[in-house]
Amino acid sequence: MHLEILRHVAMGQTNPEIAVALGLTRNTVKTYLQRTLEKLGARNRVEALARANQLGIL
């Protein structure tokens, strides 16, 4: 799920848009995204995407 959410972030979608696309609540998306940022050592969405690209995840 973390990767799927990152893919949507990469498309420029907001948390509410991601929630609708994946059938989740906004809070669930927010929680997944926060945990993804922690796992990647990123402070924000942009850093997370950059780090994911560096690691070859996206």
Tens digits of residue pLDDT in 39-49: 999 999 999 99
Q: Are 45 and 9 a contacting pair, CB within 8 Å?
A: yes
Domains and CATH numbers, the chain: 2-54 (1.10.10.10)
Q: How confident is the model at residue 1 (pLDDT cuts 50, 70, 90)?
A: very high
What pTM did the predictor assign? Answer: 0.91
State how far the Cα of 18 lies from the Cα of 45, in Å rounded to an integer: 13
How many other CB atoms are found less than 10 A from the CB of residue 19? 19
HSE value, Cβ hemisphere, 13 Å, CA-based, for 54: 9
pLDDT tens digits for 16-45? Answer: 999 999 999 999 999 999 999 999 999 999
